[in-house]
Structure 1
């Protein structure tokens, strides 16, 4: 992917950080737009299509968690990296549960941010089709692994890039247990619960009763399995 074609929106109420981050990313070859808060970001999203959002959590008014949660409720699956000075595990999990793709506590090395951006963009990039479609069907759902698209009947079910990648891996071996380690995203920096959070979010989208899943089941002590029958 040509970095000059990647448009990133930086959302941070701190003007100094917003400016420094925008300059750094522009220096890395990205196209960058900034917003001073969630309201400003929301206004820009109505008229511009972005490839990735970098969102500060601790903002006045609507905070980063609330902003991402609202995006996902509206069906917007644009990749999101959350930034915050709060680095506790509970906060990282909350960030992932809102629908964010990654979570980076401050202070951080700019190079680490670049690596995480590139990892997300790589996941989001559609591979060149090698066949008309590679579709896995379960219940009323169909998942196109090439496009990373999930449908229920004719209706599209929005997926984040992380959810789509996880479903791709599970769909390669339906009916077979996939170890948790095989589902873990290297960009999650070893967060042990990140896979579980992604699984929980997927179940909310595909299961009639997420607490008693029919399709996406846990194999205790081993991993997860996607049942298609």
Structure 2
């Protein structure tokens, strides 16, 4: 078995706030990423002319060319994955960013760990693995898909049959959105039953079930599990 490593990726952080930009750089470097920064869109485009990046983290609310406009400009040049950061978390802005070609959208304020989880999820989608996922790791949790067994810090945690089936379906597509219809088909229950099982799982898995970091709702689409996959040889 070998775990897919995305931490060696080169990330460009673009934010006009010096404090936030430097904090993000330091945090991501501590997590093993290579990080470059730019204080504005113009500098970012100049940097992109000379360096290749695996992912761009862009602040939306920048003076001059904003994050939406920068996303549009980057998309005309290539398919480098983009994660947007913004203090404006309303649905209209999220839809606009995604329609312009962003891969994900994270409202401020956010937990640094969630930023890393989302970055890893985007990078995994950009680097699709050939082998099947055997298990996933998220925080102190580990879930074996074939055995449908959950452990916390190595200690087994009991799941109901419905919870195990739902977690297996989400883990098999770690980092990707799975529709409620697909989940209902894989678990043998209705879509309402899926929502109930998600609520129960969050009570077990999340430090704050009302603000889930791992088992997330994607409004209008379904659910996704932000976790690091471990692949079969």
TM-score (norm 1): 0.57
1:93 maps to 2:95? yes
Secondary structure of the equivalent of 2:105?
A: strand
Q: Is the 8 A contact 1:81 1:104 kept in 2?
A: yes
Cα 1:194–1:58 shift into 2, 3 Å: farther
Cα deviation, residue 85, structure 1: 0.3
Give the secondary structure class of the aligned counterpart of 1:55: strand
Q: Which runs of 5+ in 2 are unaligned?
A: 132-172, 184-212, 223-233
Structure 2 partner of 1:42: 45
Deviation string for 1:183-212 (max 9, x for gaps)?
Answer: 9xx9994233469xxxxxxxxxxxxxxxxx
1:46 to 1:15, Cα distance in 2 relative to 1, 3 A: same
The answer (yes or no) to whether the contact 2:179–2:221 under 8 Å persists in 1 is: no
- Structure-2 residue corresponding to 1:80: 82
Rate the CA distance shift 1:105–1:127 in 2: closer, same or farther, 3 A.
Answer: same
Could you tell me how far apart the structure 1 residues matched to 2:180 and 2:46 are?
39
TM-superposed deviation, 1:126: 3.5
How many residue pairs get matched? 146
**TM-score normalised over the length of structure 2:** 0.56
* Pair 1:51 & 2:54 matched: yes
Structure 1 runs of 4+ with >3 Å offset:
1-4, 178-183, 186-189
Distance 2:62 2:42 in 1: 11
User: Match for 2:65 among 62, 65, 78?
Assistant: 62
Q: Which residue of 1 aligns with 2:110?
A: 108
1:21 matched to 2:24: yes
Cα drift, residue 95 of structure 1: 1.0
- 1:1-229 aligned at under 5 Å gives the runs 1-3=4-6, 5-74=8-77, 76-128=78-130, 181-182=181-182, 189-193=216-220
Structure 2 counterpart SS, 1:29: coil
Structure 1 unaligned residues grouped into runs of 5+: 130-168, 170-177, 196-229
1:4 Cα deviation from its structure 2 partner: 5.2
Return closer, same or farther for 1:109/1:47 CA change in 2, 3 Å cut-off: same
For residues 4 and 115 of structure 1, what CA distance do their matches in structure 2 show? 11
RMSD between aligned residues: 2.7
CA offsets 1:62-111 (integer angstroms, 9 cap, x no match): 0000110121123x111100000001111111111110000000000000
